Amino acid sequence: MKVWQHFKTITYHRWLVREGCFRVGLYWQGLTHDLSKYSPTEFLSGIRYFQGTRSPNSAEREANGFSQAWMHHKGRNRHHYEYWSDLSLETRRYEYVQMPRKYLVEMVMDRRAACKVYQGKNYHPGSELEYLERSRERMFINQETLKQLNYILTMLKEKGEERTFRYLRNDVLKGKPFPWEQEE
Q: Is residue 184 scored above 60 in pLDDT?
A: no
CB 16 within 8 A of CB 113: yes
Residue ranges making up the domain that contains 83? 2-34+77-177
Instruction: Please state the rounded mean pLDDT for residues 145-163.
Output: 98
Angstrom CA distances, 105 to 4, 15, 57, 60, 168, stand at: 29, 16, 23, 28, 7
State residue 146's pLDDT score.
97
C-alpha radius of gyration, the chain, whole number: 17
Q: Is residue 41 part of a domain?
A: no
The dihedrals phi and psi of 145, each to the nearest 5 degrees, come to -60, -40
CA-nearest of 173, 181, 176 to 101 is: 173
* Domain count for the chain: 1
pTM summary value = 0.94
Q: Decide if 136 is inside a domain.
A: yes
Q: Is residue 183 part of a domain?
A: no
Asked if residue 94 is part of any domain, the answer here is yes
